[in-house]
A = this chain, B = another copy of it.
Amino acid sequence: MPVATQASVKSLTPSETWDTGAQILLANAYHLSLRPGIKTIYRMGGLHSFMGWDGPILTDSGGYQVYSLGGLVRISDQGIHFKSHIDGSPRFLSPEESIRDQEDLGSDIAMVLDQCIGYQPVNQIVRDAMDRTHVWAKRSLAAHSRKDQALFGIVQGGVDLNLRSESVKILTSMGFDGYATGGLGVGESKDQLYWVAAQTASWLPVEQPRYLMGSGSPEDLVEAVNSGYDLFDCSLPTRVARNGGIYRSDKRFDITTAQFKFDDGPLEQGCDCIVCQTFSAGYVHHLFKARELLGYRLATIHNLRFFHRLMDQIRESILQDRFQLYREAFWGTHTPVQEPQPSRGVDDQY
């Protein structure tokens, strides 16, 4: 899912996003509640109509966003008291309000409000956040009334497999339409992330969608699919693009470096995206150096097409029963980028 946090995949029209192979978008109920406001979108005919996207939309509840606010937040069993990152005004979010917001937005998949915490050793804080997430999940389920909207539960429990296992048991006993693994990618190592995600997936029902939240590098996708995940949200292709980072099957590169000044070939040889069919790497390089808005856009289109093509290839290899060969070949040719630790800040996370 490309992210359309504020009801727009940054710099692209819906039809352009569709043309990259996108089937579903992620929007953020927290961001939209602050701007333009849920009621505004409701009055404008709901989120699909508002942003002009006919395909499915998943809305995140904002648990992770509120966690990212850091010190501006006070959490109780009732819900979350926080200050708007836009104007500092005091706000309150409860499981019931989050469900009502997402029902008013009219997304196809709603997420329960969960309590996210940063990476930390196994301790009471992790258990308390998990327990509260379960209580909130139950209240979300009770508050949810739209029959045309799926509701997903979110598994928490940090990096403790016992807690994760318990969380899966409790949530699956409530009966959601799908399950997400949340609370990862918050400071633990990649190995820990992959291990906890894989174990959690193995306990989740196979016949329902499994969604790994917040993971989305090429290697994350390959490993998470290997663990059984079906759904991902991914700010990387779009955010990295706006900083000049271009994905290619072997590695990611920086289009702003001087070596591309005279490059009259495409961003990636053999890429079927409209950018690689039309413009040279040298021109995209120029657009970034000259800070032309078109540059951000062209890089975004290429990166989204790259990620959707990767998923196409993964799907095809699964259907042809050769995913493990695909995965081996992928690791043999692909150099991962060392991403910095996720920052605590609202604006750059999606």
Residues of chain B lying within 8 A (CB to CB) of residue A11: 293-294, 297
A12 interface residue, CB < 8 Å from B?
yes
Q: Could you say which interface size class chain A belongs to?
A: 20 to 34
Contact A264 B294 (CB under 8 A): no
Name the residue of chain B whose CB is nearest to the CB of A12.
B294
> Is A40 part of the binding interface, using a Cβ–Cβ cutoff of 8 Å?
yes
| A35 CB contacts on chain B under 8 angstroms | 286, 289-290
- Say how far A159's CB is from chain B's closest CB, in angstroms: 35
Determine which of B10, B51, B278 lies in contact with A293 in the assembled complex, contact meaning CB atoms within 8 Å: B10
Which residues of chain B come closer than 8 Å to A287, judged between CB atoms?
8
A5-48 vs B, CB cutoff 8 Å, 1 = contact: the mask equals: 01110111100000000000000000000011000100111000
Decide if A279 is an interface residue (CB 8 Å cutoff). yes
In the assembled complex, 21 residue pairs joining A and B whose CB atoms fall closer than 8 Å, in A order, are A6-B286, A6-B290, A7-B283, A8-B287, A8-B290, A8-B294, A10-B292, A11-B297, A36-B285, A36-B289, A40-B261, A40-B262, A40-B286, A43-B262, A44-B262, A44-B283, A50-B286, A52-B278, A52-B279, A293-B293, A293-B297
A34's closest neighbor in chain B, by CB? B290
Chain A residues in the interface with B (C-beta under 8 A) = 6-8, 10-13, 35-36, 40, 43-45, 50-52, 261-262, 264, 278-280, 282-283, 285-287, 289-290, 292-294, 296-297
Q: A280-B44, A283-B50 are in contact. Are A294 and B262 (CB under 8 A)?
A: no
Q: A280-B44, A293-B297, A296-B293 are in contact. Are A286 and B36 (CB under 8 A)?
A: yes
- Contact between chains at A8 and B292 (CB < 8 Å): yes
Minimum CB distance partner of A262 in chain B: B43
A6 → chain B closest CB, angstroms: 5
A13 adjacent to B294 (CB under 8 Å): yes
Question: Given the complex of chains A and B, what is the CA–CA distance between A293 and B298 in angstroms?
Answer: 13
Q: Is the CB of B50 within 8 A of A280?
A: yes
* A342 to B43 alpha-carbon distance, docked (Å): 41
Chain B residues with Cβ under 8 A from A289's Cβ?
35-36
Bound form: Cα–Cα A290–B7 in Å:
10
Residues in chain B near residue A292, CB distance under 8 A: 6, 8, 10
Q: Taking CB as reference atom, which chain B residue is nearest A275? A: B13
* Complex Cα gap A283–B285 (Å): 31
C-alpha gap A128/B43 in the complex (Å): 63
How distant is A145 from chain B, measured CB to nearest CB, in Å?
25
In whole angstroms, what is the CA distance A285 to B7 when docked? 12
Q: Compute how far the CA of A285 lies from the CA of B50 in the bound complex, rounded to whole angstroms.
A: 11
**A44 to chain B: which residues have CB within 8 Å?**
262, 264, 280, 282-283
Once the chains bind, are B279 and A36 in contact (CB under 8 Å)?
no
Are B264 and A45 interface neighbours, CB within 8 A? yes
Give chain B residues whose Cβ lies under 8 Å from the Cβ of A282.
36, 40, 44, 50
For A45, list chain B residues within 8 Å (CB).
264
Residue from B36, B262, B285 within 8 A of A261 (CB atoms): B36
| Distance of A20 from chain B, by nearest CB (Å) | 14
Q: How far is the CB of A87 from chain B (nearest CB, A)?
A: 12
